[in-house]
Amino acid sequence: MPSIDLETETGRKEALRRMLTIRWFDTTAGERFADGEIPGFVHLYIGEEAVGVGACAALEEDDYITSTHRGHGHCIAKGLDPKPMMAELYGKREGYCNGKGGSMHIADVDAGMLGANGIVGAGPPLGTGAALTIDRKGEDRVALSFLGDGAVAQGQVHSAANLAATWDLPVIFLVENNHYGEGTPVEEQHNVENLSATAGAYNVPGITVDGMDVTAVNEAVLEARERARAGDGPTFIEAETYRFHGHFEGDEELYREDDEVERWEARDPIDSFAERLMDRGELTDEGFEELTTEAKATIEEALEYARSAEEPTPEEAYDDMFAVEVPEITSFAQQLRADGSGPKGGER
């Protein structure tokens, strides 16, 4: 059973709800970043919601995903809770990573989310590794690695794809081709028209789907998942999509024209899916408004949660380096803290 069944009306509504939640999470994150409330940098997923939701809907709860630096959408699509997500963006202790990861590193291993990732192309080897555990333990689950079109140029992506294909591991590589790697168009980074052509080198299926269509992505991943579970190895899927915002918030976007953005915005994955549901008589304008209001309320709540959550204490910077206590960390911290009040233990 997929975690969200798009064959059912409830499933379709849930998919729409998740896409709206992502949209409002990221809209809010963008605004609060502009206000200076959120530190670091944030990369928004707005415009790409159909890819994350379509893919994660096809997965089961205990499947694994690896994500990218643009990970908020993947997290929500995988079912993570927006409250600790937002708290993580605010660097709070209640965040998924206790404030150590931030926007680019949200993870919840228990939920099968093996981390957003600040390194372009680092996810596919990790997804291949999760699939290796699954394979060795004979578990009935799969791993899916999201990666950007830019990431397809990374050597480690190919090294991982070759390993996964050779060993028939249950992993799916899902390229989100949003047509830019930072400011450089995909055509200037690759010599192939479709990035799914990559699959040919590994003798696994490679397909390109419309990444603005949640059901198209969903169907492709469902099929890839079956293949993976059957022991037939990985599938390379390219989803053609577009990010409506800049590479990061504050990006001046000098590399693209307004009319290109407008053309893609006209294909908004949320609006188009809602329209289809309306055509089927499953959704009314009021129903859509209601879902939108709910999504906004969920994010408003997450924002309140994040704002009122506690800051970690500075000493927590020394926690969680290792499973065991390492004397160096405690003794160096003790020596170097201005007030001499480093963590306890490790007395020398």
Partner 1 sequence: MASAGLEAEQTEEMTVREAIRETLREEMDRDEDVFLMGEDIATMGGVLDVTGELHKQFGKDRVRDTPIGESGFMGAATGAAATGSRPVVEIMFSDFLGVAMEQVMNQMAKMRYMFGGKTEMPVTVRTTEGGGMGAASQHSGTVHAWIAHFPGLLAVAPGTPAAAKGLLKSAIRSDDPVFFFENKMIYEQSGEVPTDEDFTIPLGEASVEREGEDVTVVATQRLVGESLSVADELDGETDVEVIDLRSLYPLDTDTIVESLNKTGRLVVADESPLSYGVHAEVMARAVENAFYSLDAPIQRVGVPDTHIPFSPPLEGEVLPDGEKVRDAIERIA
Least separation, in Å, of the C-beta of 110 and ligand TPP? 26
Three-state DSSP class for 301? Answer: helix
CB nearer ligand TPP, residue 174 or residue 309:
174
Selected from 3, 60, 100, 118, the binder of ligand TPP by CB under 6 A is: 118
Q: How far apart are CA 174 and CA 217, in angstroms?
A: 10
Q: Does 148 bind ligand TPP (CB under 6 A)?
A: yes
Q: How far apart are CA 165 and CA 136, in angstroms?
A: 15
Selected from 118, 183, 287, 343, the binder of partner 1 by CB under 8 A is: 118
Three-state DSSP class for 237? Answer: strand
Which amino acid is located at 66 in the chain?
Answer: T
| Residues ≥6 apart with Cβ < 8 Å to 106 | 67, 71, 72, 75, 80, 85, 88, 95, 96, 97, 113, 115, 116
Choosing among partner 1, ligand TPP, none, which partner's interface includes residue 133 (Cβ < 5 to 8 Å by kind)? partner 1
| Residues ≥6 apart with Cβ < 8 Å to 324 | none
CB nearer partner 1, residue 1 or residue 324:
324
Q: How far apart are CA 112 and CA 114, in angstroms?
A: 6
Selected from 10, 133, 293, 308, the binder of partner 1 by CB under 8 A is: 133
Least separation, in Å, of the C-beta of 215 and partner 1? 29
Selected from 47, 52, 115, 150, the binder of ligand TPP by CB under 6 A is: 150
**184 token code pair:** 């450089």
**CA-based radius of gyration for the chain:** 21
Choosing among ligand TPP, partner 1, none, which partner's interface includes residue 115 (Cβ < 5 to 8 Å by kind)? partner 1
* Among the residue ranges 123-131, 176-184, 237-245, 290-298, the one whose residues contact partner 1 (CB under 8 A): 123-131
Q: Does 292 bind partner 1 (CB under 8 A)?
A: no
Q: Does 156 bind partner 1 (CB under 8 A)?
A: yes
Binding site for ligand TPP (CB under 6 A): 68-70, 118-120, 148-151, 176, 178, 180-182, 247
